[in-house]
Structure 1
Amino acid sequence: MVKPIILITMGDPAGSGPEIILKALSHPELQGIARYVIVGDLKVLMRAKEVVNARKLSLTVVSDPEEVSDELFSVGVIDLGNVDIEKLVYGRPSVMGGKTSYEYIVTAVNLIKSGKGHALVTAPISKESLYLAGYDYPGHTELLAELAGVDVVKMMLVFKHLRVSHVTTHVSLRRAIELVRKDNIYLTIRLTHEALTKLFGIDNPKIGVAGLNPHASEGGLFGDEEEKEIIPAIKLALREGIRVEGPYPPDTIFYRAYHDREFDAVIAMYHDQGHIPIKMIGLLEGVNLTLGLPFIRTSPDHGTVWDKAGKGTAKETAMLEAIKLAITLARGKT
């Protein structure tokens, strides 16, 4: 079996990204199953290597991901050399942090679009740093969509067998309600179905759809979005042969998906509706998978962990799971 090349962006250099990457790559279970290339700054990575005591790892600068060694604990580095290490202050957003993390993403996307990698894993960036550097993106997902040349992407969070796709994400609750529309819901269902079949290899997956209102509106008593928007979207998906049910009350559907394994994925209407159940049971292990991109992209479902940056104490569990999921999905593509 071909060992997939996993590209990993370093994230904001002032955050915990460099440390959790190296801690994750030090795990024996990742050895011999893939090849790893970090797109970042070697100086920052070498400092992080000392902080986390990642003695096993060998970091080698490469100009092409395909040059990376197949030896255990060997990691390639595409070194952009764009961090002024003397001015690096851990735990704070900055212009430098936004500029450099943006450049890592652009470089990695260009590499994977040119066939130089099988999957992309992104370490956390700071939205504030991006804004300070002049980049007007709500987060990774929107930036990746622009770089990939696609109009619509959706966020799926994964923890073990619980998969939750979101109709809306980084908008106000008021705006999220406005965006709960038939076409948007249907698109989320379709992209979820495609991911379950093509990436996860699930035959005839079953998708459950959460309502927007309490009790999924209880027949119209608590709102009409279910009747006007959600049900028509479900009917459209059913006509296309997608196995989908709902809308079901949001306060029980996630339990049914996780504990009863009734659904292969759940469609959440807005950010917190989908994030809370994932983080309640998998805060340190949840993975973000972007749907709709022409390549595989995963990331840990947490931020920069500013308060632990530079200390080596940030947990690498979610990064480890993000890399493992990327490898699993990439194997189906290699």
Structure 2
Amino acid sequence: MMHPALAVSLGDPAGVGPELICAAWVRRETDALRPFFAVGGANLLAAAARQRGLALSVQPITDPAEAAAVFPHALPVLGQDEAPYRPGAPDTIGAHLALSSLTLGTRLAVKGQAAGIVTGPIAKARLADIGFRHPGQTEFVAEACGIAPQDAVMMLAGPQLRTVPVTVHCSLASVPGLISQELICNRARITAAGLRRDFGIASPRLAICALNPHAGEEGRMGDEEQRIIAPAIAALQAEGIDATGPHPADSLFAPHARDSFDVALCMYHDQALIPLKALDFDNGVNMTLGLPVVRTSPDHGTAFGIAGTGQADPGAMIAAIRMAGAAAARRRLHPAD
């Protein structure tokens, strides 16, 4: 019996998501991708493929179980919702398709009918206009899984680096008041468990970033390292987690330093995303740890400005599909991890 295929949601249909899904299918053999199916927009995907000059067939399916057999010769698409293909011109119709695609794909993953979900990039403002109340897709998928938002951890992963932002979408001014020993420990525990479960790293090495320049210079440039971060690291070490730091972030991502850890926990959004995108922009993946289902996403946005021009690189979408497929396969082989 064939294993379930991955579900791939479209993201905003006016963005680069649809054409990159098609480009990933075209490279399914060269990039050794496990079977996947797109959720909704069969006609839209066919139009996106034509616009990009891709030779592929789109085949509607009525059951996720059909996807694996269809995948070798056509892009399987489940669901009848559609929207006109207007790259670079987001609208309400497209937002409704993006939401229905995300909703159905997530539901199938939660029910085990899909091996996991890869989410295409959305326009949060467009979704908010139609009533989407979540900060992002991470929180949406977490809620569908019955997981509290604080227990769903965003990890950015590329060939050269993995990072986790301890605080995510908040102002820089609010970060010192948000970080706490409890928050750092919670993120670190979930991260360590995720690396063991989905990547097979038996003893993950966690490098914990400082908040302030030079790790605070013993309190001269801020005392969060002494008051919060170092005690959190000591608590993690007492639990048997291989955590080190606080490390000055300006030197942690140098080539000679990256070999010393499996993931870096960073105190704020840009501290985590700048090095990841500088090193692995076209292959960066956003993976949610702490969920009972596998969820990944390409680590880039909708790119409305280049949608439909053929300029968008499919590397991150391919990497997200590959990472989701590998994690799902490992969970099948090691269900007790």
For 1:2 and 1:82, how far apart are their aligned partners in 2?
28
Distance 1:21 1:53 in 2: 14
Worse-superposed segment, 307-316 or 263-272: 307-316
Find the aligned partners of 1:223 and 1:46 in 2 and give their Cα distance: 55
Look up the match of 2:130: 133
Deviation of the 1:293 alpha carbon = 1.6
1:201 equivalent in alignment to 2:203: no
CA RMSD of aligned residues (A): 1.9
* 1:216 alignment partner AA: A
Quick one: percent identity of the two aligned structures? 36
Structure-2 residue corresponding to 1:246? 245
- 1:219 CA displacement: 0.9
Deviations 1:16-47 (A, max 9, x none): 10001101111143677522110121121110
Q: 1:149 is matched with which residue: 146, 149, 152?
A: 146
Q: Show the counterpart of 1:277.
A: 275
The CA deviation string for residues 215-246 of structure 1, in whole angstroms up to 9 with x for no partner, is 11111111111112111211221121111111
Kindly indicate whether residue 86 of structure 2 is the aligned counterpart of residue 75 of structure 1: no
Corresponding residue for 1:44? 44
Correspondence 1:81-120 to 2 at 5 A: 81-83=81-83, 85=84, 89-120=86-117
Asked whether the equivalents of residues 154 and 164 of structure 2 are also in contact (C-alpha less than 8 Å), the reply is yes
Which of 306, 309, 314 is matched with 1:308 structurally?
Answer: 306
The range that moved more, 216-225 or 31-40, is 31-40
Q: Which residue of 1 aligns with 2:335?
A: none
The runs of at least 4 aligned residues of structure 1 exceeding 3 Å deviation read: 1-4, 28-33
- Aligned equivalents of 1:46, 1:159: Cα separation in 2: 29
Whether the 8 Å contact between 1:98 and 1:131 is mirrored in structure 2 is no
The question of whether the paired residues in 2 share the 8 Å contact of 1:97 and 1:130 is answered with: no
Alignment partner, residue 124 of structure 1: 121
CA distance in 2, matches of 1:35, 1:148: 23
Question: Hey, what's the Cα distance between the residues in 1 that align with 2:87 and 2:75?
Answer: 24
- SS state at 2:271 partner: helix
Does structure 2 conserve the Cα–Cα contact (< 8 Å) formed by 1:4 and 1:330? no
CA distance in 2, matches of 1:4, 1:64: 11
| Cα displacement (A) at 1:14 | 0.9
Q: What stretches of structure 1 of length at least 5 have no aligned partner? A: none
CA distance in 2, matches of 1:100, 1:30: 30
Q: 1:259 Cα deviation (Å)? A: 5.4
Secondary structure of the residue aligned to 1:186 is: helix
Tell me which residue corresponds to 2:157: 158
Residues 161 and 258 in structure 2, CA contact (< 8 A), matched pair in contact too: no
Secondary structure of 1:284's aligned partner? helix
**Could you tell me whether the CA contact under 8 Å between 1:32 and 1:72 is conserved in 2?**
no
Q: Identify the range of structure 1 (66-75 vs 117-126) with the bigger mean alpha-carbon deviation.
A: 66-75
Mapped partners of 2:183, 2:287: distance in 1: 18
Q: Secondary structure at the match of 2:316?
A: helix
Match of 2:19 in 1: 19
CA contact (8 A) 2:44 2:82 kept: no
The residue type paired with residue 102 of structure 1 is: L
Q: If the length of structure 2 is used for normalisation, what is the TM-score?
A: 0.92
Deviation at 1:95, TM superposition (A): 2.2
Question: Structure 1, residues 125-152: CA drift from partner, whole Å, max 9, x if none?
Answer: 0011112212133221122222222112
Distance in 1 between the 2:31 and 2:221 partners? 53
DSSP 3-state at the match of 1:246: strand
Matched position secondary structure for 2:141: helix
Amino acid at match of 2:317: M
CA contact (8 A) 1:3 1:33 kept: no
Q: Secondary structure at the match of 2:112?
A: coil
What's 1:63 paired with? Answer: 62
Q: How many positions carry a matched residue from both structures?
A: 329
Question: Does the C-alpha gap of structure 1 residues 331 and 214 become closer, same or farther in structure 2, counting only changes over 3 Å?
Answer: same
